[in-house]
Chain A
Amino acid sequence: MAATLVLAGCGSQHQPGTGVTGEITVFAAASLTGSFQKLGKEFEAANPGSKVTFNFAGSSALAQQINRGAPADVFASAAPSNMKQVTDTGAITASPATFAKNTLQIVVPKGNPGKITGLADFAKADLKIALCAEQVPCGAASKKAFEAAGITAAPDTLEQDVKAALTKVSLGEVDAALVYRTDVKAAGDEVEGQDFAEASSAVNDYPIAPLAKAPNATAAQAFVDHVLSAKGREVLAEAGFAAP
């Protein structure tokens, strides 16, 4: 919260529409693809002469690219741990601000063929279950949720990212998976989402910060401010993200 205030404070002189120009390169977590593209369009419309380019990928891959010197202006991560990898090396010196939260949902194929009613069904050996691998953010969050519920899950596969887990559900290959609410929303009619109580103990924070060596520092800060603005919140809420 303090970090948000600090960033909002120093950003007040670069509000969108104050003539920020040039190219801005934003490295953002894959789960932000839809909402950030929309925010980018808005930003370009508000700042004629600016151009926002995105690199969407898994947060850990982005963190490594940044640490290896990729020329980015802004980093928006799906997990504080990946942001920490970048602040640890000094590639980011500003304190990151949390701009969104994502919670897990149970996702089942349309019609719920496995008759899943809650998290407890994930322990049944006869059902096909996909989870994210613990090494990726959605897997770490799933682990927390199962710990909170006191359930030992019996997964058939530990997927490399949240989209892969979702694909297994939409193809009907598994009876259920744990993914983010935003992914369920983006998947449309192919799948059904179910809320569960323990999701509240595994909330994922999304931090954002401009890079210390941002080639376009003014614009980087302006874009961060745009994401943190009320307008930005609105776009993120539409995609299913909760406010920080």
Chain B
Amino acid sequence: MRSRLPVVLVLPAVAGLAFLLVPLAGLLVETPWATLPSQLFSAEVGQALQLSLICASLATIVCLVLGVPLAWLLARSDLPGRGLLRALVTVPLVLPPVVGGVALLLVLGRRGLVGQYLDQWFGVSLPFTTTGVVLAEAFVAMPFLVISVEGALRAADPRYEEAAATLGASRWLTFRRVTLPGIMPGVVAGTVLCWARALGEFGATITFAGNFPGRTTTMPLAVYLALETDPDAAIVLSIVLLLVSVAVLAGLRDKWIRA
């Protein structure tokens, strides 16, 4: 028989749960449910929601392609200054997103360190484009993926990799066939966190990519601007974003994480 749950853990746990859920409940209580369907099916909301889902998913793919190898480098290589590198990777986590957006402008903007050459040589300008939204979201969300995958890598038993190596597998083959399957729960959890963060991204997006309906206006931007004139509409938009993200996350959870 299990012993009783310790009160010192249960009380703060319940308080923590309430702290996270009560503001959401407040949102639900204030929701003008009658206008929800008409808002949900309005062209502007549909457009913003679609853009949000596409951009967050593309940003997540960018993060996976770049972030998993980066996590592997941080966890497995004997690079000098790895500790410092690990700390630097988490900088976008602590940076106010608006500052992140300004930093992206300073590098990739029309007059930025790299951006001026993109503009002169290739005629490519990233600010105020959908690509800009994806970049801003990936910048802010990637640390979530890297930290989670790196944690899984460091917790994984290196003996399986060593065994594969003694059997003659190359490091790339070992990574694909031994390491990656072993850390899959960490990768999935990181991907979910990364996608959720990208979906809710506001500060870096509006600063770097601006706000233009159909091109860069994602749901969080639409919510912010609705709040200026019509708080009720802003609540409805928030609920829409909330429902969609909970549906996606719950779906993923059942399919992937428990398994």
Contact B231 A130, beta carbon cutoff 8 Å: no
Q: Which residues of A contact B197 (CB under 8 A)?
A: none
Contact A160 B127, beta carbon cutoff 8 Å: no
Q: Is A128 an interface residue when CB atoms closer than 8 A count as contact?
A: yes
Q: Is A133 an interface residue when CB atoms closer than 8 A count as contact?
A: yes
How far is the CB of B25 from the nearest CB of chain A, in Å? 17
Contact A158 B210, beta carbon cutoff 8 Å: yes
Contact A133 B110, beta carbon cutoff 8 Å: no
Q: Quick one: given A128-B128, A173-B105, A173-B110, are A168 and B229 in contact (CB under 8 Å)?
A: no
Give complex CA distance A156, B212 in Å.
Answer: 7
Contact B216 A157, beta carbon cutoff 8 Å: yes
Kindly identify which residue among B206, B212, B213, B228 contacts A60, using a CB–CB cutoff of 8 Å: B228
Q: Is A172 an interface residue when CB atoms closer than 8 A count as contact?
A: yes
Contact A60 B111, beta carbon cutoff 8 Å: no
Interface string of A153-182 (1 = CB under 8 A from B): 001111110001001100111000000000
Q: Is B106 an interface residue when CB atoms closer than 8 A count as contact?
A: yes
How far is the CB of A125 from the nearest CB of chain B, in Å? 13
Q: Which residues of B contact A164 (CB under 8 A)?
A: 206-207
Q: Which residues of A contact B164 (CB under 8 A)?
A: none
Give complex CA distance A164, B210 in Å.
Answer: 9
Stretch at the interface among B85-93, B219-227, B247-255: B219-227
Give complex CA distance A61, B227 in Å.
Answer: 8
Give complex CA distance A157, B212 in Å.
Answer: 5
Q: Is B186 an interface residue when CB atoms closer than 8 A count as contact?
A: no
How far is the CB of B111 from the nearest CB of chain A, in Å? 4
Give complex CA distance A61, B231 in Å.
Answer: 10
Q: Is B100 an interface residue when CB atoms closer than 8 A count as contact?
A: no
Q: Is B109 an interface residue when CB atoms closer than 8 A count as contact?
A: yes
Contact A135 B229, beta carbon cutoff 8 Å: yes
How far is the CB of A171 from the nearest CB of chain B, in Å? 6
Contact B210 A58, beta carbon cutoff 8 Å: no
Q: Which residues of B contact A160 (CB under 8 A)?
A: 206, 211, 221, 224-225, 228
Q: Is A229 an interface residue when CB atoms closer than 8 A count as contact?
A: no
Contact B111 A157, beta carbon cutoff 8 Å: no
How far is the CB of A127 from the nearest CB of chain B, in Å? 12
Q: Is A136 an interface residue when CB atoms closer than 8 A count as contact?
A: yes
Contact B111 A171, beta carbon cutoff 8 Å: yes
Give complex CA distance A160, B203 in Å.
Answer: 11
Q: Is A64 an interface residue when CB atoms closer than 8 A count as contact?
A: yes
Interface string of B121-146 (1 = CB under 8 A from A): 00001011000000000000000000
Enumerate B168-220 residues with CB–CB distance to A below 8 Å: 206-207, 209-213, 216
Q: Which residues of B contact A158 (CB under 8 A)?
A: 210-213, 225
Kindly identify which residue among A133, A155, A172 contacts B111, using a CB–CB cutoff of 8 Å: A172
Contact B229 A157, beta carbon cutoff 8 Å: no
Q: Which residues of A contact B111 (CB under 8 A)?
A: 171-173
Q: Quick one: given A128-B110, A164-B206, are A135 and B105 in contact (CB under 8 Å)?
A: no
Contact A172 B109, beta carbon cutoff 8 Å: yes
Q: Which residues of A contact B207 (CB under 8 A)?
A: 164, 167
Give complex CA distance A171, B116 in Å.
Answer: 12
Q: Which residues of A contact B102 (CB under 8 A)?
A: 167, 171
Give complex CA distance A67, B134 in Å.
Answer: 37
Q: 14 additional contacts, CB 8 Å, given A64-B227, A157-B209, A158-B213?
A: A130-B210, A156-B128, A157-B128, A157-B210, A158-B212, A158-B225, A159-B206, A159-B211, A160-B206, A160-B225, A164-B206, A164-B207, A171-B106, A173-B105
19 contacts between A and B (CB under 8 A): A61-B227, A64-B227, A128-B110, A133-B225, A135-B225, A136-B225, A136-B228, A156-B212, A157-B210, A157-B211, A158-B211, A158-B213, A160-B221, A160-B224, A160-B225, A171-B106, A172-B109, A173-B110, A173-B111
List the 10 shortest-distance A-B pairs measured between CB atoms, nearest first.
A157-B210, A135-B228, A172-B111, A156-B128, A60-B228, A135-B229, A135-B225, A158-B211, A157-B128, A173-B109
